[in-house]
């Protein structure tokens, strides 16, 4: 995402303009209050976790904007129906699959935070690729077991995958996908990219549509999933798609777990011991990611997992909050916000 001006130089209109547009902004998440002072001329920021339960129902009808990372249980369908002044929702995440679009009035503008996590998540994706390719976690687990015996040198050499000259596929070619592609090129890899739009970049071969996906998958030695979860991407990698891939392929997922069918993946990993799946994202249970999967992924040597840590590496640097607030500022000033979501992709 083009973030425009730096946050330090983000300016607002005069007092008269501000007084006419000032709205109540409901802040959901762990954000420092001093960061929001720049919005004072246009918004009164209210933190959900500071609102007493008895006062919430009285507050919500006056809320005009919401900043949310993970959708809270307090904002039920019934309560959303009372939020007659709600006009704008800014997601703190690049993905917006957590937003309850069916419960929102059509007048509510929803924006993602696309581009806020690109470089950091791409680096994390690459860490997963390397850990899987070089069998880092497998060897680490083996060393910790009693009676470890070092495998023969030729076996170790065969197991560790080389990257140079191999083919990297990227599923989803937004900010994260492009950053992954740059790292792949630095490793001397051939880069393929699946996108809903023409890629149009030198050194990157683009694919579109279901036929394009099926044509790309057999060519990939490595595949990074960086595509958002929508109604069209849910389960897009199932049994048939996995069977198209090379038996020793490496898949790294920093998008959403539901992009790949859980049962089909487990069966594929059990059947193909050289195929490796590395993920930072997990399938939901009771509406939240569960790091204790129903199937025995954690017992498999060809499974690598981390607890959705890629996003926090970006948040620690402050870019996601800064870019989200800049976008809220655009809306409050009457300017066109960036990353407006096409809600038909989620309904």
The structural domains of the chain, ordered by start, are 7-116+317-345 (3.40.50.720), 118-312 (3.40.50.720)
Dihedral sign, Cα of residue 291, residue 292, residue 297, residue 300: positive
Do 24 and 42 contact (CB within 8 A), yes or no? no
pLDDT of residue 21: 62
In degrees, to the nearest 5, what angle opens at C-alpha 103 toward C-alphas 98 and 105? 115
Q: What is the pLDDT of residue 155?
A: 81
pLDDT on residue 34: 85
The position carrying tokens 């709205």 is 23
Structure tokens belonging to residue 217: 């998958």
Which pLDDT tens digit goes with each residue over 84-126? Answer: 999 999 999 988 988 999 999 999 999 999 989 999 999 999 9
Through-space distance between the first and last CA atoms of the chain, rounded to whole angstroms: 24
What per-residue confidence (pLDDT) applies to 20?
A: 52
CB 206 within 8 A of CB 230: no
- The DSSP element (H or E) to which 179 belongs, if any, is helix 175-186
- Please list the ranges in the chain whose pLDDT falls under 70: 1-21
Read off the pTM. Answer: 0.84
What is the per-residue pLDDT for 95? 87
């Amino acid at each position: 995402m083009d973030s425009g001006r730096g946050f330090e130089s983000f300016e607002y209109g005069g007092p008269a303009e501000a007084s006419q547009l000032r709205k109540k902004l409901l802040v959901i998440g762990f954000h420092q209050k001093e960061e929001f002072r720049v919005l004072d001329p246009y918004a009164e920021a209210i933190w959900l976790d500071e609102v007493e339960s008895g006062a919430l129902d009285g507050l919500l009808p006056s809320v005009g904007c919401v900043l949310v990372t993970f959708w809270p249980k307090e904002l039920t369908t019934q309560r959303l129906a009372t939020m007659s002044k709600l006009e704008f929702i800014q997601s703190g995440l690049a993905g917006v699959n957590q937003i309850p679009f069916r419960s929102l009035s059509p007048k509510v503008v929803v924006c993602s935070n696309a581009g806020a996590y690109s470089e950091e998540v791409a680096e994390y994706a690459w860490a997963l690729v390397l850990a899987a390719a070089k069998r880092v976690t497998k060897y680490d687990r083996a060393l910790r077991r009693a009676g470890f015996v070092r495998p023969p040198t030729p076996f170790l050499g065969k197991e560790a995958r080389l990257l140079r000259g191999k083919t990297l596929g990227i599923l989803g070619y937004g900010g994260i996908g492009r950053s992954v592609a740059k790292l792949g090129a630095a490793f001397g890899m051939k880069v393929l990219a699946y996108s809903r739009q023409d890629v149009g970049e030198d050194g990157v071969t683009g694919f579109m549509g279901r036929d394009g996906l099926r044509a790309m998958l057999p060519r990939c030695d490595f595949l990074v999933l960086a595509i958002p979860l929508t109604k069209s991407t849910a389960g897009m990698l199932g049994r048939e798609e996995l069977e198209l891939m090379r038996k020793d392929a490496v898949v790294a997922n920093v998008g959403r777990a539901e992009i790949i069918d859980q049962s089909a993946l487990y069966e594929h990993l059990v059947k193909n011991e050289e195929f490796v799946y590395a993920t930072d994202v997990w399938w939901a249970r009771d509406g939240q990611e569960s790091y204790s999967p129903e199937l025995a992924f954690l017992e498999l040597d060809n499974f690598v997992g981390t607890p959705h840590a890629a996003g926090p590496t970006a948040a620690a640097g402050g870019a996601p909050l800064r870019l989200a607030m800049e976008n809220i500022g655009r809306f409050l000033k009457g300017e066109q916000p960036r990353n407006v979501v096409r809600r038909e992709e989620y309904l």
